[in-house]
Structures are given as C-alpha cells and as structure tokens.
Amino acid sequence: MVTVTLVLLALIGAAGVVDHTLKARRMNRAELSEWYCEHRQTHCGGPSSSRLEDAWNQRERRYQLALGLVAAAGGLLTIVAHRRRLNAAIS
C-alpha cells in the first residue's frame, strides 16, 4: 500500500511540475506580447497573463488537494493494514 501511495504521489507531483513549467512558458510569451502591445501597439490580442496565472492557481489547488487526499488515504490504509496484522498475530 505504501508503494502505491508513493507512486501516486510521484505521478501527481510530476504532473504538477510539468504543468507549472508549461504555464511559465506561456506566461513569458503572454507577458512579452502584452509589453509589445502596450509599448509598440503590436502583438495585441493574445492570451492574458493574468488569466493564465488565475487558471494555474486553480489547477495548483487541485494538485495540492489530490496530493493531500492520496497521502491521507494511503496513510489511513497503511494504519488499518498494520492493525489487522497485529490483531491477526495476537489471535
């Protein structure tokens, strides 16, 4: 059970890191376009950096919630399995 929990945590964490990396790239392009739009009136109409950040913040909360739920469930199941083994050994 511990192995499954750790694998799930690693997968969720890796997905979050990849998502954050892609978000940072999109943000850089959006901020550059916004600068050109404001100062040179070119590259206008692209994605908004603030909307990209808001969307990331919502996804980040979901990653954190998923990590917490998997960790809590894995910990609880590990405790239950350990107690069952102890009770079986005593009986």
pLDDT digits (tens, 9 = 90+) for 24-34: 999 999 999 99
Write the single-letter amino acid at 71: A
Query: What is the reported pLDDT for 54?
Result: 98
**Residue found by looking up tokens 């009770």 in the block:** 87
pLDDT digits (tens, 9 = 90+) for 48-88: 999 999 999 999 999 999 999 999 999 999 999 999 998 88
Query: What is the reported pLDDT for 80?
Result: 94
What are the residues whose beta carbons fall under 8 Å from the beta carbon of 3, sequence distance 6 or more?
none
**Residue found by looking up tokens 């964490």 in the block:** 13
Query: What is the reported pLDDT for 91?
Result: 73
Q: Where are the domains of the chain?
A: 2-22+49-90
Please give the full DSSP string across 8-77, using - where no structure is assigned.
HHHHHHHHHHHHHHHHHHHHHHHHHHHHHHHHHS-STTS--HHHHHHHHHHHHHHHHHHHHHHHHHHHHH
Give the C-alpha separation, 27 to 33, whole Å.
10
Find the length of the chain: 91
